[in-house]
Amino acid sequence: MIDQAKVRVLLLESIHPDAVSRLEAEGYLVESVAGALDEVELVERIQGVQLLGIRSKTRVTAKVLEAADSLVAIGAFCIGTDQIDLAAASRAGIAVFNAPFSNTRSVVELALAEIIAMTRRLTEKNDLMHRGVWDKAAHGSHEVRGRRLGIVGYGNIGTQLSVLAENLGMHVSFYDTADKLALGNAQRCASLDELLESSDVVTLHVDGRPGNAGFFGAEQLGRMRPGSIFLNLSRGIVVDHVALRDALTSGHLSGAAVDVFPHEPKGRGDEFVSELRGLPNVILTPHIGGSTEEAQSDIGDFVANKLVHFVEEGNTTLSVNLPSVALPASTDMSRIIHVHLNMPGVLAQVNSILAEHQVNVEGQLLSTRGEYGYLITDISGSFSDDVLEQLRGMSQTVRLRVLS
């Protein structure tokens, strides 16, 4: 049973103050840290913490989760969760939440701004002006209207970018390994090669799963149209940056914009090292696709709310690793949360234990997802510790929580 006054929260990587305020409003003890922590540091800090909040730089490994003696949930205050060992979290009955939609608009706007800037050669013109060179020539500068944008990965970001790019007069093609419905006049490509060979601008919006490491290299860059533009605002590991530099310095690509990198500095002010530094036709940004005040405020509020509802009610709506269950809270009830292996007969066994001890069930909801099941049971009246011990002792039990 969690005492609100004793809920410890550790927030890393300068998570927005709105999240801090929301969690403190519940009476939780919140510690906010400006930078990321490495595995050794996090193992030292995680003991006694019930809620952990991170962004993209902190890796929550199996070793960290093994050291987490009190952790019940992790909030990823970002889109991706590949920095978290989700399998290990599930085995421990720890719920993971993220913000899959909150910074979509911010990423899309940055992509559009960079597409326009590179198509108009604004970065080069800006550099010349700062060096005192007046070059008013239109050579190499184009409108985005009428040009073809190729989107690799047609998820939340890719689809919104597709719609806004069409509003600017661009033609849109997309490629996705999943079957996705085209929005507006966007055209689905049957293969990645088809998209690369027909697009003036190629932008990546794929996830960081291990299978995507090195996904875009010399072969893919070589298939892009001469003079085309490349963007990566997804994950740093998916692009071979040496091959990208070669494509840019050879003149095969006219420009690139990169917001994510295979190895990123741990904190603000640390040196940034990249093969792409110093190239005049490259826009480099420090992983700021979702770093607008609006997006960070929305993310802070969204994920903090998910964590609060999980702690107070046990609801797992939009959890990325546990079955989604939301049972309206009832007054004068005790709520038992049972995370278990998804095997036949678990519900019958739970209810048999409750019936044996004459515990009255007022509400119950079960959902399964892959290897795991998640059961919420509301009961009225008192119950003995024997009930909880028997539930914990079930061979299928992963974790048991009691809310009052």
Q: How far apart are CA 155 and CA 391, in angstroms?
A: 41
Q: How far apart are CA 154 and CA 168, in angstroms?
A: 18
Question: Backbone dihedral region of 114: left (phi > 0), alpha (psi from -120 to 50 degrees) or beta?
Answer: alpha
Q: How far apart are CA 323 and CA 372, in angstroms?
A: 7
**Domain co-membership, 138 together with 273:** yes
- First-residue to last-residue Cα distance in the chain: 8
Residues recorded for the chain:
404
**Domain co-membership, 167 together with 88:** no
| Cβ-contact 33, 12 below 8 angstroms | yes
The question of whether 131 is a catalytic residue gets the answer: no
Q: What is the mean pLDDT of each run of 10 residues along the chain (404 residues)?
A: 74 95 96 94 97 95 97 94 95 96 92 97 92 94 97 96 98 96 96 98 91 92 97 95 97 97 85 93 94 92 97 96 93 94 97 95 96 96 93 97 90
Per the structure, the complete domain to which residue 218 belongs is given by 104-284
Q: Which of 284, 310, 343 is the last residue of a domain?
A: 284
**Domain co-membership, 239 together with 164:** yes
Q: How far apart are CA 86 and CA 194, in angstroms?
A: 34
Domain of 92, CATH number, reads 3.40.50.720
The question of whether 264 is a catalytic residue gets the answer: yes
Catalytic residue among 287, 335, 338, 340: 287
Tens of pLDDT, residues 260-313: 999 888 777 889 999 999 998 999 999 999 889 999 999 999 999 999 999 999
Catalytic residue among 264, 275, 312, 362: 264
Tens of pLDDT, residues 19-78: 999 999 999 999 999 989 999 999 999 999 999 999 988 999 999 999 999 999 999 999
**Domain co-membership, 18 together with 37:** yes
**Which alpha helices (H) appear in 57-103, and where do they start and end?**
62-67, 86-91
Catalytic residue among 22, 147, 235, 338: 235
Question: Backbone dihedral region of 164: left (phi > 0), alpha (psi from -120 to 50 degrees) or beta?
Answer: alpha
Cα-to-chain-centroid distance, residue 73: 15
Tokens representing residue 139 in the block:
């050579």
**Domain co-membership, 109 together with 95:** no
